[in-house]
């Protein structure tokens, strides 16, 4: 008799390990809910601003408002402008007259592409941790609108820069606590005196100097040249000649700029052996 190798057709697909179709898709094939990108990863245009504008910003108290940025579309092009807060528009002049000069408030942005460069913006918090803020896609330059306020500001800047740094002043009375010229200053006199004393020091016999040096190095391992001059009362040049025969001058390390005896002249064990 003929045997069926497949189950008879009953209108229901055979069970193949796949769950039957329902109105709700299986949980393992449900597409994940899209997560919006983090707000810190945004496109950030670096924006240089005029010097006077940054100086006015520093005058804002607390977390006050320094101005407003307006973004608009004009014939398909994005136009960005910054308007300085009216409270920060007054500029303090050197003469102390406040309010007579008002900084330009309107500052249109000039937008440029960064080209083939890849630039990013990072910030550093109090804990010195770097945070990625965004990718630079455009370079914006903040420029003041050329109007009457801007021309007055430029005129003030030119006047301030032309003022002399030092001014002559007529005194009402003579200054009595002035410094009189001297032939030589005290520190120069002391230097010359020490130089003459060192030159007058008579050279002792070499063996006598060696005895004094060996006696000194029995007390301490390291000496600077000034201390050895005071101990031996010998001229520096003569003393260094003898020290080069029996000593080593340390140019680095813990005992930098000091003298010590060569190993063959030492009356003590080296630090390695003593340990």
pLDDT in tens, 190-219: 878 777 766 666 788 999 999 999 999 999
- CATH (domain of 255): 1.10.10.10
Give per-residue burial for 134-164: e unless 16+ CB within 10 Å, then b.
bebebbbbbbbeeeebbebbeebeeeeeeee
Is there a single domain that holds both residue 156 and residue 230?
no
The domain tally of the chain equals 2
Would 13 be classed as within a structural domain? no
Instruction: Give per-residue pLDDT as tens, 233-250.
Output: 898 899 999 999 999 999
- In DSSP terms, 68 is beta-bridged to 83
- What's the whole-number mean pLDDT along residues 111-123? 82
Is there a single domain that holds both residue 137 and residue 48?
yes
CB-CB contact of 93 with 159 (8 Å): no
Distance from C-alpha of 198 to C-alpha of 233, rounded to nearest angstrom = 8
Would 96 be classed as within a structural domain? yes
Look up the domain containing 53 and give its range. 42-161
Would 144 be classed as within a structural domain? yes
Is there a single domain that holds both residue 151 and residue 229?
no
Q: Please state the pTM of the whole predicted model.
A: 0.38
Local confidence band at 100 (pLDDT 50, 70, 90 cut-offs):
low
Last residue of a domain, one of 161, 186, 213: 161
CB atoms within 10 A of CB 250: 15
Would 129 be classed as within a structural domain? yes
Last residue of a domain, one of 161, 180, 213: 161
Would 60 be classed as within a structural domain? yes
For Cα atoms 116, 120, 124, give the angle at the middle one, nearest 5 degrees: 160
């Amino acid at each position: 008799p003929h045997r069926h190798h497949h189950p008879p057709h009953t209108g229901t697909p055979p069970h193949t390990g796949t769950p039957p179709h329902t109105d709700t898709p299986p949980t393992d094939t449900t597409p994940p809910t899209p997560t919006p990108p983090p707000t810190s990863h945004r496109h950030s245009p670096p924006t240089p601003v005029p010097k006077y504008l940054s100086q006015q910003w520093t005058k804002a108290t607390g977390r006050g408002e320094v101005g407003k940025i307006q973004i608009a579309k004009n014939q398909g092009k994005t136009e960005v402008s910054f308007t300085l807060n009216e409270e920060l528009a007054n500029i303090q002049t050197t003469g102390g007259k406040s309010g007579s000069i008002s900084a330009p408030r309107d500052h249109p942005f000039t937008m440029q592409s960064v080209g083939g460069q890849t630039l990013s913006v990072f910030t550093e918090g109090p804990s010195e941790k770097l945070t990625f803020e965004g990718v630079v896609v455009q370079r914006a330059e903040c420029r003041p609108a050329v109007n009457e306020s801007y021309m007055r500001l430029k005129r003030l800047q030119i006047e301030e820069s032309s003022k002399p740094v030092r001014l002559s002043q007529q005194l009402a009375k003579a200054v009595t606590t002035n410094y009189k010229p001297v032939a030589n200053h005290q520190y120069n006199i002391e230097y010359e005196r020490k130089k003459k004393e060192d030159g007058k020091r008579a050279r002792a016999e070499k063996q006598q100097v060696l005895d004094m040096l060996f006696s000194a190095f029995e007390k301490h391992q390291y000496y600077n040249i000034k201390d050895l001059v005071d101990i031996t009362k010998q001229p520096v040049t003569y003393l260094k000649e003898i020290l080069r025969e029996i000593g080593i001058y340390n140019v680095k390390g813990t005992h930098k700029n000091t003298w010590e005896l060569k190993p063959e002249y030492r009356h003590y064990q080296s630090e390695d052996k003593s340990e």
